[in-house]
A and B are shown apart, each in its own frame.
Chain A
Amino acid sequence: MASALRAAILGHIRVPVVANGSKLLTPLWIRSMSSHDDHLEKTQVIDRILDIVKSFPKVDPSKVTPEVHFQKDLGLDSLDNVEIIMAIEEEFKLEIPDKEADKIDSCALAIEYVYNHPMAS
């Protein structure tokens, strides 16, 4: 008798399951707040970096291409190299460590570095 009473009470207490439309259930694999795939387009990166290099006062804008080498093709100095990398850091809100920055010698390397950096914006 106790079990029948228990079942009756539970039948009243239990909240019936409402059959909701499945449109309201978002699948677990959609990460709505994730910015992981929020990557820059390569064309955007190339355009922005070329603009920075072209607006450098010692550079002739007509010579700037995505493969140009700062010191060999544009006739810049190692100090100018550091300046350009600083300008790129400011543009993309990055912090490039000294070891990496010493290796960036040309537009192509700069574009590749920025494109592969996860924090570039």
Chain B
Amino acid sequence: MSTAVPPPSRKEILSLFRSFLRSSRQFSDYNIREYTKRRTIDAFHHNKTLSNPTSISAAFADGKYQLQVAKRQALVYYFYSPKVKSIMDIKY
């Protein structure tokens, strides 16, 4: 490789983390909202100790892809959200 892409800076990583948490808030389903939050926190902590620039860049690229997945899913879940938030509200 003639030119090396610099690994993401601390600010970019924190910004990605914040974007994940913000998009997780848009889910109306409690379970998925909590799962997204938990999973991003676990994943970021797991990769916290990486020191190799290529692996940091790979993890960052993977994170960006997953953020797009989360955003798309938030939209899809919004379109097909159930009409009642809780099953206790359903009147039979």
Contact = CB atoms under 8 A, between A and B. Distances in A.
The prevalent SS among residues of A at the interface is: helix
B17 A79 contact: yes
Contact of A98 (B18, B41, B44, B48): B18
Interface residues of B, number: 13
A83 B21 contact: yes
A86 B18 CA distance: 8
Contact of A79 (B11, B14, B25): B14
Interface residues of A, number: 10
A84 to B, nearest CB: 11
Interface of B: 10-11, 14-15, 17-18, 21-22, 25, 41, 44-45, 48
Interface of A: 77-79, 82-83, 86, 90, 98, 101-102
